[in-house]
Amino acid sequence: MNALIKSATIVDSKSDFHNETVDILIEKGRISKIAKRITNPRNYKEIQLDNLHVSQGWFDSSVSFGEPGYEERETISNGLKTAANSGFTSVALNANSNPVIDSYADITFVKSKANDNAVSLYPIGALTQMSNGEDLAELFDMRNAGAVAFYDYQKPMSNPNLMKIALQYASNFDGLVCSFPQESRISRNGVANEHVNSTKLGLKGNPALAEELQVARDLFLLEYTEGKLHIPTISTAKSVELIRAAKAKKLNVSCSVAIHNLVFTDAVLHEFDTNFKVLPPLRTQTDCDALIEGLKDGTIDMVTTDHNPIDIEYKKIEFDYAKYGSIGLESAFGALQNSFTTKKTISLLTQGKSRFNITEHSINEGEIADLTLFNPDETYDLTIDKISSRSKNSMFLGQQLKGKSYGVIANNKMVLNNE
């Protein structure tokens, strides 16, 4: 793939051309030249777009697509197209399909479905067989097939001894173990944050305590085993404090936060819109503020969309019975920019790759072209016609977003929204 990007402002602190507006020449999928002005050498495709900015390709550490088994929610093919249109060049795929991705063959299958795509798909294997929490899955075999981590998506590990064994075993091959932060015997059937609003609305409460107990337990197990732990989608102020203290002790722990948990609080539940039913639940403004502070000081390592397509019949029902989940790829950039500067937003969207052993490519001459193209200033309201996901369960519908992705250049391919 050959192309000439004209008049693009580079947003990449690792680039020699950070904050400069330049031309970028790409030949055979690699950046061959960066300069103030480049003459098209061989009639290559020229890319000229309004207020064009370019950064390293964005990464999402938690996406669900449905395939295999739930193709009505989303297919891998359309999911990766949606990711490209949204500015992501790499995504980590959760194991919550049917069958659950818990073997060498399963990892090989989903990787094969993503072949010849601009977006790189990195499978996360199930931590336990069929994600049932009883016996460890084939972790080493899945690692050899290409799994970047092990996680029973949104299913807490109730057995502390099994979590201890998982951390010990995976440490033999530098495996990354993920643990969903929820103590199920505390959360029980709670569907909303246990607080004033859940009481007013008559919704069963899921207390912050349920998350914090599990985080504390896993951090104790991590210290004992000296393993490698990732805690996905934390949502409470106390969780931030616990992980901050663990990092001060030099424990090998990382964590993420879902973008919607930074933006929304449980106050939005007054209309019982099931698009806002997510796990962990939306918390309080105090929690949101603590999560944002945790991102700023580095306690929280990365953001995620926690993109989770759910078909309409599981959302257009009573709040208590609706499935958890919201899509988030299309809204990620615009939502973050409502809370952070463009520089910080890009930093958040490009963090986390090294934790999942994914190679980073800076915007410098000689580097592989792994680029996101975007306009940071365009504002628009998110409507259903702007969503390319098969499922439309976005809590950002009707919200004004700031910033638009033009597409990506990656894996020697180009995907642009206007083509």
Two tokens, residue 276: 């806002």
Residue of 306, 370, 381, 385 with catalytic role: 306
Two tokens, residue 298: 């580095």
Asked whether the beta carbons of 372 and 56 are under 8 A apart, the reply is yes
Half-sphere exposure of 262 (CA within 13 A, CB side): 30
152 belongs to the catalytic site: no
Asked whether the beta carbons of 41 and 28 are under 8 A apart, the reply is no
Residues with a catalytic annotation lie at 306
